[in-house]
Amino acid sequence: MNFPRRFAAPRGSKFIAGPVLHYVSPASGSNPSCAVLSVRRRRGQALRRQRLRHLEGLHLAEKTGQATWRLKPGWAKALRAMGRRGDIIRSLSAGLAPEQASVGVRFLEERGAEGAVFPGVVLSQGPVDELRDTRFLIVEDMRGAAWYVPARNLGPGEMPPKGAIVEVGVRPGEARKADHVIAGIAERSGGLYSDALHLAADPASSSAYRLAHKRRLEALRRSGIADRRADGIWEIPHDFLEQAAAFEAGKGDVSVRVRSWMALESQVNARALTWLDDVGAAGDGELSERVLTALRARLAFLQEEGLLGPDAQALSNAARVQLRAEELGRAGAREAGRSGRAQLMADDGQAFEGKFERTVDLAQGRMALVGNQKTFALVPWRHDLERYRGQSLILEQKARGAGWTFQPGRARGISR
């Protein structure tokens, strides 16, 4: 049985194989060779004993005798996780309480049977590998525990800000939307993909959207799934989607779904329909102290505003509709004052063409601002819209009720 080199047992030690590992330090005089050990060898023995005492302090080893230790099953994996935790904590951005930064951050694999999906508050975020554009989130769950969440799969415009409410879950092992786009372009171009081929297939796609697909291919290339030629053109295998799905299944990645783009603290005094209002309506008793404090303050604010009765714990449907309309009206008024344009509402019964300019985060959700020289509209944002950022869209009123449907507009876009 092999022993890691830096923990190699010195001569005269006993190394006993079995269901657990034992390291027995040589006792003085137990072996005649001990008397002639060099100073260097004695120093090495002392360092190994000191290391085992350190592992004992980490609860990874147990002392079973005066000079005997038992290494616990899985000690090496646990030690690597501790080292990874230390590296991550040292690189955390500001926003964590001192006690969380020192001992509170845990890894998702530690949750075990606690649940694969959980909501939480984003406490912090930061880069993992800026060259590969990967980041992490620190998310506090409803029990007050802080979790390190890899954010490798978030596309353009999807990274939640500090204070946002997210739902963390397990990402199924299946090909991503970007993989299907790449496979479709490759099928029409003889197994090839490039930025130019993507632009030809989808003239309305933005450069940032196409860049996300090239980054995806770079990640897959490192696993031997796609090849990039010297001229920058990618060679896509015929079973690309199957390989991409197997790649995802082997990663054990997580999904991050934003439930509220507005920070928890900002929701307390917001005259708008917030995530806290839904939590209060659900009456969920398993909430962290952070969320409970915000919820109590929120209820007090709604009572002061006359939107909630003294004994009520949830908003009425009429109050919810009112708050949504007020927030959307204020956001439209701000944009109208800033740009001098008129806001177009979905119930105006008309279609118009405008450029997807930017996103606006409201308590009721993220909105996309689409506008031209004279008018603009705030429409619910969704991931598919990111492909048209900076490009032209045609908005049309839905057949039933208020809302919008989208379709690509002129490929040249609309200048302002």
* Same domain flag for 58 and 106: no
* Same domain flag for 90 and 143: yes
Asked whether the CA dihedral 144, 147, 152, 153 is positive or negative, the reply is negative
Q: pTM (2 decimals)?
A: 0.59
For residues 223 and 244, what is the distance between their CA atoms, to the nearest angstrom? 10
- Predicted confidence at residue 89, as pLDDT, reads 55
In a domain? residue 297: yes
In a domain? residue 330: no
* Same domain flag for 187 and 226: yes
In a domain? residue 11: yes
- β-bridge partners, 122: 139
- Predicted confidence at residue 56, as pLDDT, reads 84
Strand order of the sheet with strand 68-71?
A: 14-16, 21-24, 68-71, 61-65
Residue 213: is it exposed, middle or buried by C-beta count within 10 angstroms (0-12/13-18/19+)?
Answer: buried
In a domain? residue 51: yes
The number of beta carbons lying within 10 Å of the beta carbon of residue 365 is 18
Select from 54, 69, 72 the least CA-distant residue to 23. 69
* Same domain flag for 220 and 163: no
For residues 179 and 410, what is the distance between their CA atoms, to the nearest angstrom? 26
Q: In the chain, which residues have pLDDT < 70? A: 1-37, 77, 80-104, 109-116, 128-134, 152-153, 155-157, 251-253, 280-285, 346-350, 397-416
* Same domain flag for 49 and 81: no
* Same domain flag for 86 and 160: yes
User: What's the token pair of residue 138?
Assistant: 């620190």
- The 3-state DSSP class for residue 99 equals helix
* Same domain flag for 352 and 401: yes
Select from 155, 229, 153 the least CA-distant residue to 197. 229
- β-bridge partners, 211: none
CATH number at residue 237: 1.10.10
In a domain? residue 186: yes
User: What's the token pair of residue 308?
Assistant: 């909630």
Radius of gyration of the chain (CA): 29
- Predicted confidence at residue 414, as pLDDT, reads 36
Structural domain tally of the chain?
5
- Predicted confidence at residue 98, as pLDDT, reads 52
8 Å CB contact between 204 and 391: yes
8 Å CB contact between 228 and 219: no
- Predicted confidence at residue 160, as pLDDT, reads 87
Domain of 194, in residue numbers: 177-251
In a domain? residue 306: yes
In a domain? residue 328: no
Single out the residue in 251, 272, 290 at which a domain terminates.
251
CATH number at residue 148: 2.40.50.140
For residues 232 and 235, what is the distance between their CA atoms, to the nearest angstrom? 10
- Predicted confidence at residue 411, as pLDDT, reads 42
Q: pLDDT tens for residues 98-119?
A: 545 544 677 776 665 555 688 8
Pairing of strands 146-151, 105-107: parallel
Single out the residue in 14, 42, 73 at which a domain terminates.
73
- Predicted confidence at residue 11, as pLDDT, reads 44
- The 3-state DSSP class for residue 257 equals strand
8 Å CB contact between 237 and 155: no
In a domain? residue 352: yes
* Same domain flag for 278 and 243: no
